[in-house]
Amino acid sequence: MASSRIFFALVAILVMFWAGCGVLDHPGEKSQRQPIRYESMGSHVRSNSDEEILTLINNLQHTVRQGLGYGVTLYRLNCELFVPLDGRETEATILLDTRFPGGDRCTFSKVLAQLIAKGAAPIPSLLAHLNDSRLTGIAIERNARSYVGGMVFEDYYDRNTRASTLRQPASIVQEPPTVWLDDYTVTVGDLCFVALGQILNRSFNTVWEQPTNKQVISSPTHSSTLCSTLREEWSNVTPDRHLASLIRDLKTPDSNRRRVGALRRILFYYPEHAEEVVRHELLRPMYCLATAREFLRGEIYPEKDPVVRQARHARRILKHGPQFSDGVCLCLIEDCRWEVRKRQAEESLRLLYPGTQPPQWLNDSGNSVGLSDLGSVSVDAQAQFIDGLGGFKSEVIDETVEGLLLDLGKGYYNSESEANLVSACIRRLKANEYSSRVQEWLQGFQKTR
């Protein structure tokens, strides 16, 4: 215990030191990511006329370089990565912050980036061109070194499993009969698929490689099922409906990546609505999954008497608030999926939460995303959310983050999780001089560690 207290005391001291000297940022990167300066690409980027959108879509056929989401790489374009905020314009292409194992940055098409920057305006045209079979200059060849994999069509369709109205239960819409390919040329419709994913906060990839050297092609041009599924869910999208979809992703996400991705798109596309939405999210009560796990494995699972277990559960909720109950319930549901704890977890779930079924906020891999339908959020998810604010300037948001920071340090959360949230708050606030209240709180926080 003594060594643990010393370790977290050092963490607190280092947090204050790092915040002042910028070490908390990624090595070699600026302290705040700079958005791509779309004005430098030409005045047409700011215009959303149908003619100019169609011109950009037509120009996709001249794309010759593979990029993230439409190239052979183990990396996939996830919804948290947002090209307008994670890229840097060069003469030839867009360089993303994401790096390949060798250190080279992933790239992205300028024309695609321009379409994505327009937000909801190009969505109808992109949907209309999903079956556009015009070939680009991106030719993918089967990996000749692959003895296990190969190249194959598979219809992967990403959706928010907690908010989508689609009938399909899984992320893969349909797996066509296996047809092994020797090569494939990316189409204009494929690139429209990738652009839609970036705008809509979905992980739409048309080409990627699995660790087995299996090269996967998800092409709405090839698959009428994938094409029709996209049009079914996203037809008639207006800016208001686009914003409403992003807010649903923010409030009822199926993963923390979905939540952060929605935040970043709201900040970029709809900054006039950002303060109210972000402030509401920052004021959500928090629980700590690590603390809930420690409680279950230390005080609930070993105890045989159900009355004692119920009493311990009630006392802890009285101390930490009703949001702690959310964290305990999530951990119990997680443990139900592991054979080593399944019996204990199921018994405790029936005792403490009678009638509870595994809810939708567990993702397909069985991991909790740290959110519940009761309005609370995990400490770790809130740290990721604050980091997702990036360089967005708002006194209202800064004041809310400061209030959240000053309310920490009361012993409700696991030390490591709390230290991560403290670090995220400091990274957000360090652009301004700390208030005297924050400085005083940091000194007290250091003593308690």
The answer, yes or no, to whether residue 315 has pLDDT greater than 90, is: yes
> Is the pLDDT confidence value at 166 over 60?
yes
- Burial of 337 (C-beta count, 10 Å sphere; 0-12/13-18/19+): middle
pLDDT of residue 30: 36
Higher-scoring residue by pLDDT: 373, 393:
393
The span from the CA of 181 to the CA of 153, in Å, is 8
Lowest mean pLDDT among 60-69, 81-90, 244-253, 388-397: 81-90
Residues with Cβ within 8 Å of residue 396, at least 6 apart in sequence: 275, 279
Mean pLDDT: which of 35-39, 132-136, 437-441 is highest? 132-136
Contact 358, 366 (CB under 8 A): no
| Mean of pLDDT over the chain | 81
- Calpha distance 131→223 (Å, rounded): 9
pLDDT tens digits for 250-271?
998 888 999 999 999 999 999 9
Is the pTM value of this prediction over 0.85?
no
Q: Residue ranges per domain, the chain?
A: 1-31+278-285+376-449, 43-236, 292-315+330-371
Confidence of residue 180 (pLDDT cuts 50, 70, 90): confident
Q: How confident is the model at residue 370 (pLDDT cuts 50, 70, 90)?
A: very low
User: Taking 60 as the threshold, does the pLDDT of residue 37 lie above it?
Assistant: no
Token pair 């909720």 in the structure block, residue: 317
239 pLDDT exceeds 90? yes
What's the whole-number mean pLDDT along residues 301-319?
A: 95
Region at 342 (left for phi over 0; alpha for psi -120 to 50; beta for the rest): alpha
Report pLDDT for 150: 82
Residue 17, pLDDT > 70, answer no
pLDDT of residue 404: 92
More confident residue, 213 or 369: 213
